[in-house]
Copies of this chain bind each other. A is one copy, B any other.
C-alpha cells in the first residue's frame, strides 16, 4: 500500500544518524576502495591496516557499492576473497561487517541455530530489537540464502516452550505506533504476574503477550507490573538455577524493554568472561556501529565507570582490536 518509508522508518533513520558510532568520510570512491582492498590482499601477506582504514569507515550502502565495484573490476566476490585472506577474530569481524545488515543477521541467526546448544539470545536479539520491517528484511535474506524460512529453522533446532517463544517472536510483525491501551497493560501485567507467581507458568499466555503486542504496549505493561508489584518483572524472573526457557524469557523481556541497557550487559559479560567472548563482542559492535553504538557507549560508561573503548582496548589485541576501535568511532590508531 505504502511504498515510501513510514514515519517510523524515518524516525529510526534519523536516530541512527545521530547515534551511530561509525565515522564516515564525506568523499568516497567505491572504485578506489576496491583497488585499495585488492592491493591490500595481494602479494605476500595481507595489509590488515589498509583493510581497516577503508572498511572501518564505510557505511552499509557504501560497502555494498565497494563489493559491486570490486566484482566489476576483478570479476571476483570480495567477500569470498577476504574470507580466504583474513584469519580468526579479525577475519570473522570483517566478514560480518562487510555483509548487508539483513544478510549479516541471517548468517548470525543461522550460525547461532546450528550450534549443538543454540545461542538463543542471538535469535532473541534479532527478533526483539529490530523494527518490524528490519526483522522482515532478515527473514527475506534468510530465505534467499538458505532456501528455508527463518522460523522453520528456529523450529527445527529447538523444542518445547523455547521453541514456542522463539518462533513467536521471530515471526512477529508488530504494530509500531506509540498509542497504548492502559486497561490492557493493567490486565496483562496481572496475567504475567499470575503466570510467574504460579511457578508452573502459563507459558502460552506469556508467549502470546510477548510475541504479539507492540513494544510501546509491552513497556506500558512492564511499567504497570513494576508499579503493582513494587519490583520489576525481570527481577521477579531471577531464580537460582533458571532453565533455558526462563533465561530466554528474561532475555526477551530485557531486549524488548530497553535495547541499550541490554547491549551494555551483553558487552560487559563478554569482556568480563575469562578470555573474552569474541562472538558476542564482535556481534554487538558490528551490528550496532551504524545504529546506536554511541548511545550504548554512553550507557556503558554510566554503568561501568570505564569507557567501552578502554574496556575493548584492554581485552583485545592486534588488528582485531584496531578494527573494533575503528568501528567504535576512534579515528586515529
Contacts and interface: CB of A to CB of B under 8 A. Distances in A.
B149 A100 contact: no
Interface in A53-103: 100, 102-103
B151 A212 contact: yes
Interface string A145-168: 001111110011000000110011
Number of copies: 2
A195 interface: no
A12 interface: no
A156 B139 CA distance: 25
Contact of A152 (B1, B204, B212): B212
Interface stretch (A117-125, A174-182, A220-228): A174-182
Given A1-B137, A155-B212, A172 B149 contact: yes
A179 B176 CA distance: 35
A149 B136 contact: no
Contact of A163 (B171, B174, B208): B208
A71 to B, nearest CB: 16
A184 B148 CA distance: 13
Interface in A101-150: 102-103, 132, 136-137, 139-141, 143-144, 147-150
A241 interface: no
Contacts of A301: none
B213 A152 contact: yes
